Structure 1
Amino acid sequence: MNCFRRVLLPFYLSGLVVLMLGLFSPKTLAQKSIEIVSKPQVGAFPIVSGSTATNIVVETENAEVVNIAAEALASDIHQISGIKPKVVHELQSTPFLIIAGTLDHSPLIQQLVASKKLDISKIQHKWESFTIATINNPFPKIKQALVIVGSDRRGTAYGLFEISRLAGVSPWQWWADVHPKPRKALYAINGNVTVGEPSVKYRGIFINDEDWGLNAWSKRKMDTDIKDIGPNTYSHVFELLLRLRANMIWPAMHDSTNAFWYYKQNPKVADKYGIVIGSTHCDMMLRSNTFEWGKNYANEYKQKPSEYRYDNNKAQIYQYWEDRIKEAQNYEAIYTIGMRGVRDGSIVGPTTKEGKIQLLDVIFKDQREIFEKYLGGVAKTPQIFCPYKEVLDLYRAGLKVPEEATLIWTDDNFGYIRQLSNPEEQKRSGASGVYYHLSYLGGPHDYLWLTTTSPSLMSYEMTKAYQFGANRLWVLNVGDIKPSEMETQFFLDMAWDVNKWNPENASKYAEYWANSTFGKELAPEIASIKNQYLQLAQNGKPEHLGILQFDDEAKQYRIQAYNQLMKQVDKLKKRVPSYLQDAFFELIEYPVKGAGLMNDKIFYAEWSRQIALSNKPLAIEYTRKLAEAFKQIQALTHHYTTAIEGGKWDHVITYAPRNLAVYGMPQVGVPEILDSTIKAPKVYDRRYLDTTPVSASSQTDSLTIFAADFLKKHTINHEQIMTINGLGLGGKSISRYPFTGISFKETSFENAPYVDYEFLLKRGNYEFSVKCLPTHAIHAGRNLLLGVSFNQEKPSFVNFANLKEDKKWSANVLRGFAESTIPFTSTKSQKVKVRLYLMDTGLAISRLDMKLLNK
């Protein structure tokens, strides 16, 4: 479609969201998937029938996590039906039984395999896989059994939680109060299904920046004896991970929290739940340096620590690491190797890159020596190396990382992955993985309050990572877990089956998730709200509104768009069943209204200041509106922390993490009318507000074409030019796919894929701009090169790759796009053909603007 038009603002969504139904993993689609229904059918297995619930058999030979998952399933069934099955540990003479066991750890499963009543060929010797099957006459006097068998202990637990999922129990049944729909009876139909292996071996979360939420909540509601994040909190975290088919934790490690290993029950609880223990990019060898070196070293070792620098304090640091490995050797763990500062800073000691690299060579050698002593050798020790921040510079300068270590690539803290494995790195036995952020404390400004990273962006970046070999470990910085529920689930769903949610269909995830969370009837409207909320945040997260500059048209649009979303929320809330009202508030109402009211507060304040002298009555009106918005944010947060489930979430969320200025009462045009009770929080740290303001508004006097509205495309080598909904300005972007396609040099541009557009221009001088996602080049040797040709002339080339995190990068990640401009002169009124050559993969193009410079 020829879509040249004048566009005032970039903030809208287009397209319809399609309902996604079916099981969690498309690897099951070739089979007839098990369903759980409420009415009996011929051959159906009764889970709950009449006043009876079928017992669950878990033999004592199984790992403790299997019993934990069985008890959780029994509780889930009780939530649904009011009848709780018993978890028993030996076969019973009853007509029906649910039997759960792990291969090689369950005599009952082994008997069923030996009698050829159970086929385990699809999961044998596999990682975290499971089969669910109904078996007639499995044992004497038993008419039918529903059998869940796992290839290992977590596989069995996942299988048990799959029954919960099929019965309508959300993974967020405890963490977001998503209570299941009541049903009097439950029957399993359709026989059997096999699920697994997962796409990514280790999949988990990092609890981070917990000071203002999870820690404050834990010490009040969960671990009240130690007043810290401890085993009671972690038991709920670990159950959530199992329900999400995750298997790994990077524990909380901020100044407010004592080290995970300080409480001896924590690793024991992790082992009971089958959760692999890891540590962050700056906490090596399972140590938590802020606490264990900084605060507790003297208590542990009865002496003060010397400086945390390996070149002159090797003996002390070596022992510090060695002691943790001794303690951890009987737990399932992943070890971070290398060295950084005590906190999230550069390694201390040598001042040159060469000196730091030489010191890290020694550190690697000594850490491997510890692995040989206690863990059976480096080949048997899961280990990671994370080239994060300044460590990436050392790696690029020639640091040689042990072959067995998994390279954990990182995003730039704002969702765009810095670098991935090149062809040589993809051959490493340790493979690679990704550390990704949904929450971040740091420059150019934090985003710790609301979660606004879209599934489309996550899928774009994580699919790219997977296609370049990042399949060993994915870890997600979730902040305080809440309010990142849907986004966390999406990330872990992708980690389980990366092919199910590719960039082309990721925008449909919100409806898939809403269907399983709130039901089919409400799902389309909830997804529409969620997707529009995420799209608005693409151009300005609520936490960043104190830095970004919008023109008046953009401000007005955003206020109207958010107000419309808030009205939709209020209208839809009336149709939400009573048992899901709290969940709706937590998952939908609070983030949408919080973001909308933040826009009201910031923009009305700016307007009130602008017109305070010229139009005082209107300035007074604006001041009252922004004050009311501020009060509503406070009231919503108060409701969250005091009213839900009798105060269950006391202090789990705050509207002002770190008390930064953007969260408080802004300067207003007419301060004398304000209620004296309205006060701004104390400004904790303003250094991140010094960034040069950027504009996220559209250009005036511009013709705009959205990149997805091309007239013609040309592809190569079975590639496609994919349109990605929910990504970039206007809610759509285009990109070459798959990401592994070749790169082209300027001299061979004619062989590259291209897209064509057409502008109807008057005579004059123009500035042509291309707006793209602020992504990074995939690896050294690749760029983000784009060729721009006018009327089939020789193209000009622009490279969107930005290796430095400078002011340009800051502006790009805050406003949600990178931009390059090329001058063009139209000597007459004419149709101008613009051809874009997509020279590299990883470039997501959103919008083209042709701005008239002289009239």
Structure 2
Amino acid sequence: MKLVPCPSFGPGVDAAFGDLRRDIEKIAAISSGVDEELDRWRLEISRNPSLSVESFALEISPEERQIEIEASDDLGAIYGIYEFSHQFLGIDPLWFWKEMEPLPLVSFSPESQRIESGLPEFRFRGLFVNDEDLLGRWRPSSGERFQDWPKRESVLSQPSTLLKDNYEARLLGYYTPVVESEAMEMIFEAILRLRGNLVIPASFIDVFNGAEAAVIRDAVQRGLYVSQHHVEPLGVSHFGYETWWSRQGQNPQFSYLSDPDSMRAAWRAYAEEWYRLAGNQVIWQLGLRGRGDRPLWDHDPAAAARAAELFRKAFDDQMEIIRKVDSRETPPVTVTLWLEVSRLIQDGDLRLPSNVIRVFADDDKTLEMKGDFHRTDRGGDLPFGCYVHLAVWGAGPHLVQGVSPDRIVRIANEIVEKGDTAYAIVNAANLREHVVGLGCWFEQLWCTRREAFEKLITGLCPRRSCSLLP
């Protein structure tokens, strides 16, 4: 098959074309005589400004042996390429993570047709690679994080009886390896094949570490938006803060209460570096968590009595930094309504800037949307979104999917009925063990609908596996 690219598209479209070439080669190698049929066809991609953002039209003309994909932007073009691969070559969007190679084709003779993608239900549709302890050790890592953290050696040199109870030691143990770049490429490909457009690529990302910065750069090259974990406002975790200041030859306390100037300096430095790497593809995260994923007052007790005041000031500072660093008229900004932030807002002690996306989180005990999702007044034109998990527990493994497909469909419909479609991020842990839930969620994020469970699960199962249905 002759593939004709369009020079006005970017490197993400080129990467998708490369994946399509690989798909065609696989099919030709296993399908008797089909390679000759494929050679007679031509697939061309072109830009059509009249189409909506991230949408595509795929038209097949058998008489001319012509396949044309039209899109108004890079993401639309990428989705169109992968749609052709899925519908007409039989490549599953999660083929790599399901370990499911395509079946041979009897022939390649598609009928005349036009497929139009329509518009996505949710504006931003992303995957959060979180608690990635298995991904980080599955293959040789691309590097290590926390190596320059000034407290690393003192923490790890503690007696073993203390290490098991040391929160930071556990974080070092879980998150030190940076997931191999080729494995990350397969994650980015899967997101795009599922018509996602966003990734939070790790639990911790320090963009001043070359191996971690490369993860952001590679995601952006693929065409994805990138964002930060809620423990890293503007990209700054407590590890990053202390490491960055150590490189400046200083050791200020990690405390917005006692040293806000040092915190603002770190936020500004990291925001500038994130924007240098990702440009207009960064989605900012506001926040003020403490060490790791814990409340600020866990290590700074005096902050508890002034929580609302500190959050207001911190959010104002962070928004001011974003306005200075980001050249977009209205940069996308999120706040995750997780634990103390949610409580402060529900109690009326904290108000957010009107253009900030308020991201409701599900409950880690039930994996249903929490009470604030149901109680919050959606009056006005405020943007809302959701943060959902496929498996997160207060204790125990993250290796078992916690949400069935029928529940995912129900929860997705509840979110859409509330109008909370500005943003959605799906926490899939190490991804491999959650392929069914991941496929289900991303189907719903593009086009939310109530479907019979049997139809949904059949579409997500590998074709060579036994049926999951009774």
Q: TM-score, normalised by structure 2?
A: 0.83
Match status 1:65 vs 2:12? yes
User: Which residue number in structure 2 is paired with residue 223 of structure 1?
Assistant: 142
Q: Does the 8 A contact of 2:62 with 2:109 survive in 1? A: no
Instruction: Note the C-alpha offset of 1:410.
Output: 0.7
Q: Does the 8 A contact of 2:287 with 2:315 survive in 1? A: yes
Quick one: which amino acid aligns to residue 281 of structure 2?
E
Partners of 1:183 and 1:507 lie apart in 2 by 26
Q: Does the 8 A contact of 2:238 with 2:254 survive in 1? A: no
Given candidates 327, 344, 348, the residue that maps to 2:293 is 344
Given candidates 100, 109, 121, the residue that maps to 1:178 is 100
Instruction: Note the C-alpha offset of 1:486.
Output: 0.8
Q: What SS does the corresponding residue of 2:310 show, helix, strand or coil? A: helix
Given candidates 49, 68, 85, the residue that maps to 1:147 is 68
Instruction: Note the C-alpha offset of 1:278.
Output: 0.8
The count of residues paired between Structure 1 and Structure 2 equals: 421
Q: How well do the aligned residues superpose, as a CA RMSD in angstroms?
A: 2.6
Instruction: Note the C-alpha offset of 1:350.
Output: 6.9
Q: Does the 8 A contact of 1:238 with 1:270 survive in 2? A: yes
Question: Closer, same or farther in 2 for the Cα pair 1:368/1:290, shift >3 Å?
Answer: closer
Q: How does 1:682-693 map to 2 (within 5 A)?
A: none
Quick one: which amino acid aligns to residue 291 of structure 2?
V
Q: Does the 8 A contact of 1:383 with 1:406 survive in 2? A: yes
Q: Does the 8 A contact of 2:128 with 2:429 survive in 1? A: yes
Instruction: Note the C-alpha offset of 1:57.
Output: 0.7
Given candidates 195, 209, 222, the residue that maps to 2:131 is 209
Partners of 1:423 and 1:297 lie apart in 2 by 38
Match status 1:389 vs 2:335? no
Quick one: which amino acid aligns to residue 469 of structure 2?
S
Question: Closer, same or farther in 2 for the Cα pair 1:99/1:421, shift >3 Å?
Answer: farther
Question: Closer, same or farther in 2 for the Cα pair 1:423/1:440, shift >3 Å?
Answer: closer
Instruction: Note the C-alpha offset of 1:268.
Output: 1.6
Q: How does 1:31-46 map to 2 (within 5 A)?
A: none
Match status 1:160 vs 2:53? no
Identity within the alignment, %: 21
Quick one: which amino acid aligns to residue 528 of structure 1?
L
Q: Does the 8 A contact of 1:203 with 1:475 survive in 2? A: yes
User: Which residue number in structure 2 is paired with residue 650 of structure 1?
Assistant: none
Deviations 1:795-838 (CA, angstroms, capped at 9, x unpaired): xxxxxxxxxxxxxxxxxxxxxxxxxxxxxxxxxxxxxxxxxxxx
Match status 1:482 vs 2:429? no
Q: How does 1:16-95 map to 2 (within 5 A)?
A: 54-82=1-29
Deviations 1:712-757 (CA, angstroms, capped at 9, x unpaired): xxxxxxxxxxxxxxxxxxxxxxxxxxxxxxxxxxxxxxxxxxxxxx
Q: Does the 8 A contact of 1:353 with 1:397 survive in 2? A: no
Quick one: which amino acid aligns to residue 318 of structure 1?
R
Q: What SS does the corresponding residue of 1:186 show, helix, strand or coil? A: coil
Question: Closer, same or farther in 2 for the Cα pair 1:342/1:194, shift >3 Å?
Answer: same
Q: What SS does the corresponding residue of 1:161 show, helix, strand or coil? A: helix
Q: Does the 8 A contact of 1:438 with 1:453 survive in 2? A: yes
Question: Closer, same or farther in 2 for the Cα pair 1:307/1:192, shift >3 Å?
Answer: same
Question: Closer, same or farther in 2 for the Cα pair 1:232/1:301, shift >3 Å?
Answer: farther
Q: What SS does the corresponding residue of 1:82 show, helix, strand or coil? A: helix
Q: How does 1:422-821 map to 2 (within 5 A)?
A: 424-429=377-382, 431-442=383-394, 445-499=395-449, 502=450, 505-506=452-453, 508-514=455-461, 517-518=462-463, 525-528=466-469
Question: Closer, same or farther in 2 for the Cα pair 1:59/1:381, shift >3 Å?
Answer: same
User: Which residue number in structure 2 is paired with residue 303 of structure 1?
Assistant: 250
Match status 1:362 vs 2:313? yes
Quick one: which amino acid aligns to residue 368 of structure 2?
Y
Deviations 1:312-332 (CA, angstroms, capped at 9, x unpaired): 211111111111221222240
Question: Closer, same or farther in 2 for the Cα pair 1:505/1:301, shift >3 Å?
Answer: farther
Match status 1:236 vs 2:200? no
Quick one: which amino acid aligns to residue 312 of structure 1?
S
Given candidates 37, 42, 50, the residue that maps to 1:97 is 42
Q: Does the 8 A contact of 1:251 with 1:260 survive in 2? A: no
Instruction: Note the C-alpha offset of 1:146.
Output: 0.9
User: Which residue number in structure 2 is paired with residue 373 of structure 1?
Assistant: 324
Instruction: Note the C-alpha offset of 1:275.
Output: 1.0
Q: Does the 8 A contact of 2:45 with 2:69 survive in 1? A: yes
Q: What SS does the corresponding residue of 1:526 show, helix, strand or coil? A: coil
Q: What SS does the corresponding residue of 2:45 show, helix, strand or coil? A: strand
Instruction: Note the C-alpha offset of 1:100.
Output: 1.5
Instruction: Note the C-alpha offset of 1:267.
Output: 1.9
Partners of 1:153 and 1:493 lie apart in 2 by 20
User: Which residue number in structure 1 is paired with residue 170 of structure 2?
Assistant: none
Larger radius of gyration: 1
Q: What SS does the corresponding residue of 1:267 show, helix, strand or coil? A: helix
Quick one: which amino acid aligns to residue 359 of structure 1?
L
Match status 1:401 vs 2:352? yes
Deviations 1:469-500 (CA, angstroms, capped at 9, x unpaired): 1101111111111110111110111001012x
Partners of 1:144 and 1:186 lie apart in 2 by 11
Q: Whose helix proportion is higher, 1 or 2?
A: 2
Q: What SS does the corresponding residue of 1:76 show, helix, strand or coil? A: helix
Quick one: which amino acid aligns to residue 363 of structure 1?
A
Instruction: Note the C-alpha offset of 1:352.
Output: 7.1
Q: Does the 8 A contact of 1:350 with 1:356 survive in 2? A: no
Q: What SS does the corresponding residue of 1:393 show, helix, strand or coil? A: helix
User: Which residue number in structure 2 is paired with residue 746 of structure 1?
Assistant: none
Q: What SS does the corresponding residue of 1:174 show, helix, strand or coil? A: helix
Q: Does the 8 A contact of 1:434 with 1:470 survive in 2? A: yes
Question: Closer, same or farther in 2 for the Cα pair 1:259/1:224, shift >3 Å?
Answer: closer
Partners of 1:130 and 1:446 lie apart in 2 by 43
Match status 1:420 vs 2:373? yes
Quick one: which amino acid aligns to residue 433 of structure 1?
G
Quick one: which amino acid aligns to residue 388 of structure 2?
Y
Partners of 1:57 and 1:300 lie apart in 2 by 48
Deviations 1:634-681 (CA, angstroms, capped at 9, x unpaired): xxxxxxxxxxxxxxxxxxxxxxxxxxxxxxxxxxxxxxxxxxxxxxxx
Q: What SS does the corresponding residue of 1:343 show, helix, strand or coil? A: coil
Instruction: Note the C-alpha offset of 1:423.
Output: 7.2
Instruction: Note the C-alpha offset of 1:79.
Output: 1.0
Q: Does the 8 A contact of 1:421 with 1:432 survive in 2? A: no
Q: What SS does the corresponding residue of 2:121 show, helix, strand or coil? A: coil
Q: Does the 8 A contact of 2:391 with 2:403 survive in 1? A: no
Partners of 2:198 and 2:342 lie apart in 1 by 24
Partners of 2:439 and 2:62 lie apart in 1 by 35
Given candidates 316, 319, 327, the residue that maps to 2:273 is 327
Question: Closer, same or farther in 2 for the Cα pair 1:421/1:327, shift >3 Å?
Answer: farther
Question: Closer, same or farther in 2 for the Cα pair 1:374/1:76, shift >3 Å?
Answer: same
Question: Closer, same or farther in 2 for the Cα pair 1:331/1:265, shift >3 Å?
Answer: farther
Q: Does the 8 A contact of 1:386 with 1:407 survive in 2? A: yes
Q: What SS does the corresponding residue of 1:334 show, helix, strand or coil? A: strand
Q: What SS does the corresponding residue of 1:148 show, helix, strand or coil? A: strand
Q: What SS does the corresponding residue of 1:483 show, helix, strand or coil? A: helix
Quick one: which amino acid aligns to residue 259 of structure 2?
N
Partners of 2:304 and 2:98 lie apart in 1 by 47
Partners of 2:320 and 2:143 lie apart in 1 by 40
Given candidates 215, 222, 235, the residue that maps to 1:273 is 222
Quick one: which amino acid aligns to residue 322 of structure 1?
R
Partners of 1:424 and 1:205 lie apart in 2 by 27
Q: Does the 8 A contact of 1:310 with 1:317 survive in 2? A: yes
